[in-house]
Each structure stands twice: as C-alpha cells, then as structure tokens.
Structure 1
Amino acid sequence: MSDFMQQPLTAAAETAPPWLAQVLERGREQWRASSLPNRKTEAWKYNNLQALQQSFTAVDRHAAPRLGNISYPELPGSTLVFADGLYREELSHIDLPAGARLQRFSEADEATASQITNLLGTAVNQARHRFAALNEATLTDGVFLQVDANTVLEQPVHLVWLTSGQGEAVSVNQRLLVQLGANSQASVVETFCNANTGGTAFTNGISELLLGDGARLDHYRLHLEQGEAAHIGGVHAALAGNSTLNSFHLALGSRLKRIDLVAEHRGQGAHCELNGIYLPRGEEQVDYHTCIEHAVPHCTSSETFRGIIGDEATAIFNGRIHIHPDAQKTCAELSNKNLLTSNRAEVNTKPELEIYADDVQCAHGATVAQMDPLTLHYLRTRGVPKDEAEVMISYGFINELVDGVRCEPLRDFLKPLLARRFARNEKLTRHILEEKSLDGSNA
C-alpha cells in the first residue's frame, strides 16, 4: 500500500485511547492487505486521484487552526464542532433529553468504550470499502450518539467538521456512530466545510447508522468543502424490522470528493429513502456510489439523485439496488437525472439492478441532458435575460429535493446557499429566492 498516510498512521497509534488499539490494528491489517485504487479498478475508473499523490501529515494538536469566516448552518438542539479533527468546546453545546447520550470516543468511560468497540464496523463491509479500513487505522476520536428505545429527539443533533487547509497536506479523520433503540426517533445533520485557503486537507470520513426495530432516523450530510479539499468517505446504515431511514445528501464540488452510501435492510418492513444533489463546477469532481441491499422480504426503498454539472467539471454516479434471493415482495426505485450547463462538462452515470428474487417491483433510470433550448427560449421571449433564465432552470431542476428537506432551519440555510451557487451575484440571488413561480418546477 502507498505510504502517503504513513505519518498519520504513526501518529494515531501514539495518540488514540488504549481501548481503541484493537480497532486500529484491525484497520491496519486490512489497509496493508489492500492497494490504492487506480483507473483499472472498476469502482474507481472515473476518479482522478491525483490529490492523493503526496504525503499527508497528521494535524498538529497544539496549533490553533485559522478557520476564518466559514459558514455552516446554525440549528437548534445539540451541536458538536470539530476543527481539523479536534473538538472545539467553545463552539459546541449539548442539549439532549433523558434517554439520549452524545459521547466523544476520547472521553468514553469503560462501559461506553466497550459498546463502541462492539458496534464499530458492524455496518461496514471493509472488503468492499478499502478506505473504511484506513479510517479505522487512523482513528483517534469520534462521536457516539445513542438513543434509547421509545425516546424521541425533538431537535436535531448537528455534527460540524471543519478543515482549515493551512498550506500543508494534512489528514483529518471523521467517525460517527449512531445507535437508535426500538421505536426511537432522531434527526442527525452532518456538515463538512472548509476555509478555501488553497491548502490541501484530506478528510477520510465514515458514518455508521444502526436503526433498531421501528426506529426512524432523518439523516442529512452536507459536503460544502471547495477548492483543494479532498474527501473520501461513506455512510453505512443497517435497518432492523419496520425501521425508516430518510437520508438527504448535498455535495458542492472540490478537487476530489468520493462518497459511498450503503443501506442494508436487515429486518422485514424496513424502508429507506435516499435523496441527493451534486453541483460541481470549474474543474471540480464529485462521485457518489450508492448501494441499497435488500436482504429480507417486504422492504421498500426510493432513491433520487440529481446533478448539475458546469464548466469543465466531472460527476460520477453509480447507483446499485441488490435484491437478495430471500427478498421477495421488495419494492425499490432509483432515479438519477443530470443537467449539463456546459458542453465541456462530463457525467458518468450507471444505475444497476441486481435481482435474485422473482416477486419484486423494481425500476431504475438515468438521464443526461443539456439545458432545454425551448424552455430557455420561452423565458427569453418573456423578457428574462439569458443568465437569469439559466439560473431559474437550474434552480428549478433541484428545487423539489430541497423542498423535501424536513428540517426547516436546514432548508432555510440551503435555499440561499444554492441560489448564490447558481447566480454568482447577490442581485440575481435575491430575485431567484423571491421568484414564486419556481416552486416545484423542473427542467
């Protein structure tokens, strides 16, 4: 295996809590046994991994990161902020009801440490996700959210992961473990953002979501890193019987961004709704690989991803639905639509159905198109300037998914963020946000 992470591997062994030693060693063994993917690796053949062709260092724990003016959602409820992988107590606060606990790995007592050790990796297939092994091999801290049976969290739990990009090539490890008891409910928001200083920060992030019988989780993951940021991460969910996972993902582009999303139905009656938006521009890159595993009967899933790719950017989407032999009476749908706003933009989309049961209802589809000239002409003939018309069409293309975000404060943060992303000037941003006719429109 490449030695580009040698220094962070060494630092992790020296700074991790003693009870994590077994987890680190497990990750090291699998990382040593694997190889860095390249263009000949099927699942990585469209990725440009040049951002990893350098040696990364561990974060200096004694240096305060210069974060500048990084904008991220301010939400009610509990918020934990990490800067360059280090906990920032002055920016964090915890407000949870009885029956819920939010614990950092580095502060876990003996009983909690034993729980975390037993649960870590139970939703991750490390043989298929090699960078999950690297995450374990460099693990020094993380967050454990545990919600007891029949407990309902009225307010979201927000995890904020900030990277500074100080000019050095630094490595940041992120780990989240969520365990929901039977019939519990919670909302979790993860936000990744950076100070676009021109420095390189490599984030290797893994989130594990374990849902008990009848549990419901609303999960949001926002990848707002831009510039030279590199992020290889994954979300791995295990759904017990009659549980529900509603998951929303947003990715702005950066030099390298690869996210694997895996949801496994392990109990009958489970449902997964997976929605996402990706918006690379310039020479940025975004890659989403999703897999929904239907391993038992009577489960449902719905997946919708939309991408708007501009300039010379590249997007990759690979969506897989895997119906196991025993998964009769499954209902699963997958839709991926892409809008190219430049003739130099590129998208590689591959929806997959792998079915081994004969009593199922499954559908999948993907489209790639440029902006509709008739729609553009219609707006132009009614006095709408070309730039404004293009923004209206782009914003309308994803507006349905944004409106579907159940967390209202988060939705209020996203709408102006996306309007600015398209408009690139405040006057047009305000006009788009005030334009009533965009509600529910599509391209």
Structure 2
Amino acid sequence: MSLSASALAQELKSQALTNANNSGSKGDALAALEAASFPERKTERWKYTSLQALADGHLNAIADGEISQPLPALSEHVVTINNGQLVSHNLPDGVSLSHDGPAINGLQTPFAFYNSAVASQPVVLTVAANTRIEQPIHVQLQSASDTPAHCNPRLVVVLNQGAEAAVIEHYHAEGQALSNAVTALITADNAQLTHYRLQGEQANTLHIGTLIIDQQGISKVDSYQLMTGNRLRRNDVRALVNKSGAELNMKGIFVVRDNSHVDNQLCVEHAVPNCESDQNFKGLAGESGKAVFNGRIHIHPGASGTNA
C-alpha cells in the first residue's frame, strides 16, 4: 500500500485529535502539529528516507503487546517504560520522578509535536542540586506489537545546579512496533551529564526519535550513541548551547545491513559566545543497508569565540 505525504499527515493529525488532551501544552502541541509541514521526498532533510512504511497502519493503533525478552538491567537504578507507560522504577536518593516537567525547547518535526500532544505518561527525572549519582540510571524504553502500531515514550532528564549523573537511554522493540520517541536533556550551571543512547530494536520495527540537548547553564554534556538499523530508523538530534562556557561532546556509531535503514540528522546551535562542541560519528553499511548522516553546526550572530 502506498500513501501520499498528505494522506500520512492527515493520519497523524487525526490520531492526535483522537488521543490528545486539548488543554495547556498539549493544546499548543496540537496547534504546532496542525501548522507543521509533513516531510516528503522533496523535503531536503528527508530526501533519503521514505516514510512509506507508515502506510501499513502504524499510526492507527497504539502498541500494547507483551515484551517477550525484556532488557537486562545495566545498573541497580532502573526505570522501565513499556509501550510508552511507566512500569517500574528504582531510583537513588537525590533523583525524583514525576510526570510533569519543563517545556522542551527546540522541537521541530511533526512527529515530535505529535508526541507532545499524545504522550500520556511522560517520565521526568530530576537530579537535585549539588548531588552526584554514583551509578548510571538505566532507562529501558520497550515496545511490542504483533500488528502495525505505535507508542510515544517521552523522557526528560533535568540536572540542577552542580548535579552530576549518567543516564542510559536504552531502546528495545519487538514485532511491528513504531517507537515515536522524544528525549530532552536539560542542564543547569556546573552540571555534568554523561548520556548513553542505545538503539538495537528488532529488524522489522520502526523508530522515529527526537533528542534535544538543552544546555541552559555552564555545563558539560558527553553523549554517546550506538545504533543498529531496522526497517526505519530516524534520529533528529538538536543541541542548544545556550550559556557561555558550556561544553558538548557527541560521539556515535551506526551500523546497517540486510535491508535496514538509519538516518541521523544532527544540528548543534551555538547561540552565545565562548562555547565548545565536538562531534565524531562513524557508520558502517553492508548488503543493501542504507545509512544517512547529516551534521550541521549553526553559529548564531554574536557567538564569537565558538570552538566547534
């Protein structure tokens, strides 16, 4: 089955209207989704990635399958999210969990707006000021469906002033599940965050994800990503370096084979003077796999002394 970009856009907006609460920020997200342009092959940042896999009906149902092979725990501090819903958590002192957090800056795609409108149980992890968390926090984001369906996990990590932590953002999916995920990392002055993003879902699954790194203070963020290909994997990563003296390091590896696909779109926004960022990504493609990488550094007017 083949659907036009306009038909897929209508499906996305129809589902948003069906599942969203029109109040507050969700209402704002609905308005943003309504105004957003749905990507098509002529859209520059999407020209190497087809969304025709969504024509199978992934947008018409919410995933609710059972996870047959749950992820192993990589730390004693584990947060488990299945099909976009919080299942369990074991957090150290100094880290709180809620379902209501700060607004996420920098969202741009209709899929991110859709997530904002319909995510029913966002997970917001807040590390208290001047707190050092010794072990990583392992966030397991799992999904499963025997038929085409989707879920909308939403993870926000906030490090207050002087906080230090490591977070493992770990995805696993089975069957024909689409994970439409949004993650935001927000850091204040003197915060240090080490972030690992592991994406190894099964071959027939789909993943459309947005990662926002918002350095609101003089902070250091080290982000490491490991991605294997699946039927459709799209990663939109946007880093907002918003405080002079902030430092950002991003490294990643992506591997595709068979008929799998990975599309990485990265943009680092240097909005203020005297900040540093560094990117080092390596990809490997075999058989009929397709790997896409587009990295962009935007140095805003007045951001003198940028080292990127």
Per the normalisation by structure 1, the TM-score is 0.64
Report the alpha carbon displacement of residue 265 of structure 1 after superposing the two structures with TM.
1.1
User: What is the rounded CA distance, in whole Å, between the counterparts of 1:124 and 1:328 in structure 2?
Assistant: 22
Aligned length in residues:
300
- Residue 87 (structure 1) shift: 2.7
Distance 2:188 2:131 in 1: 12
Post-superposition offset of 1:66: 2.8
1:155 aligns with 2:145: no
The answer to whether 1:165 aligns with 2:145 is yes
Superposed structure 1 runs of 4+ greater than 3 Å apart? 5-8
Gaps of 5+ in 1: 106-112, 333-443
> Which residue of structure 2 aligns with residue 4 of structure 1?
11
CA distance in 2, matches of 1:149, 1:12: 36
Greater relative CO (CA pairs within 8 A, separation 6+): 2
Structure-2 residue corresponding to 1:351: none
- Where do residues 305-320 of structure 1 align in structure 2 (5 Å cutoff)? 305-320=281-296
Q: Where does residue 244 of structure 2 map in the other structure?
A: 268
Look up the SS of the partner of 2:115 in the other structure.
helix
Q: What amino acid does structure 2 have at the position aligned with 1:42?
A: E
1:234 aligned partner: 210
Counterpart contact for 1:4–1:53, Cα < 8 Å: no
Tell me how far apart the structure 2 counterparts of residues 21 and 52 of structure 1 sit (CA, whole Å). Answer: 28
The structure in which a higher percent of residues are helix is: 1
Say which SS state the counterpart of residue 53 (structure 1) adopts. Answer: helix
Q: Does the Cα contact within 8 Å between 1:7 and 1:58 map onto a contact in 2?
A: no
* 1:184-219 Cα shifts (integer Å, max 9, x gaps): 111111111122x4xx21211111111001111011
Within-5 A mapping of 1:384-403:
none
Question: Does structure 2 retain, via aligned residues, the 8 Å contact 1:4–1:54?
Answer: no
- Counterpart of 1:41 in structure 2 is 43
Are the aligned partners of 2:182 and 2:209 in contact in 1 as well (CA < 8 Å)?
Answer: yes
Q: Partner of 1:154: helix, strand, or coil?
A: coil
- Tell me the amino acid that sits aligned with residue 69 of structure 1: Q
Whether 2:199 is the aligned partner of 1:220: answer no
- Are residue 124 (structure 1) and residue 106 (structure 2) matched? yes
What are the within-5 Å matches in structure 2 for residues 346-361 of structure 1? none
Partner of 2:60: 57
**Pairwise CA distance, 1:142:** 1.3
Q: Distance in 2 between matches of 1:148 and 1:279?
A: 36
RMSD: 1.9
1:180 aligns with 2:189: no
CA displacement 1:153-194 (0-9 Å, x = unmatched): 11111111111131x211100111111111111111111112
Q: Secondary structure at the match of 1:283?
A: coil
The answer to whether the 8 A contact 1:213-1:240 is kept is: yes
Find the counterpart in structure 1 of residue 231 from structure 2.
255
Structure 2 residue identity aligned to 1:79: V
Question: Unaligned stretches of 5+ in structure 2?
Answer: 1-5
Give the aligned partner of residue 321 of structure 1: 297
**Residue type at the aligned position of 1:36:** F
Confirm or deny that 1:133 pairs with 2:113: yes
CA distance in 2, matches of 1:188, 1:73: 15
User: SS of the counterpart of 1:51?
Assistant: helix
Q: Distance in 2 between matches of 1:240 and 1:148?
A: 16
One-letter code of the match for 1:66? E
Q: 1:8 to 1:88 in 2, by over 3 A?
A: farther
1:83 aligns with 2:69: no
Aligned residues of 1:240 and 1:268 also touching (Cα < 8 A): no
Greater radius of gyration (CA): 1
From 30, 33, 38, the equivalent of 1:31 is: 33
Contact map agreement 1:284 1:314 (CA 8 A) in 2: yes
Higher strand share: 2
Closer, same or farther: CA 7–130 of 1 in aligned 2, 3 Å: closer
Alignment of 1:5-20 (within 5 A): 5=12, 8-13=15-20
1:8–1:171 Cα contact (<8 Å) kept: no
In the alignment, what sits opposite 1:66? Answer: 66
Secondary structure class of the residue paired with 2:111: helix
Does the aligned pair in 2 maintain the 1:243–1:270 contact within 8 Å? Answer: yes
1:71-123 Cα deviation digits (max 9, x unpaired)? x342223211122223323xxx31311x32122x2xxxxxxx4xx2xx122x2
Question: Is the contact made by 2:275 and 2:305 (CA closer than 8 Å) also made in structure 1?
Answer: yes
Aligned partner of 1:189: which letter?
A: I
Aligned to 1:94: 90
Give the Cα–Cα distance (whole angstroms) in 2 for the partners of residues 206 and 66 of structure 1. 22
**How far off is 1:328 after superposition?**
1.3
Distance 1:182 1:147, change over 3 A: same
Q: Is the counterpart of residue 246 in structure 1 residue 222 in structure 2? A: yes
46-55 or 4-13: bigger deviation: 4-13
Percent of matched pairs sharing the same residue = 34
- TM-score relative to the length of structure 2: 0.91
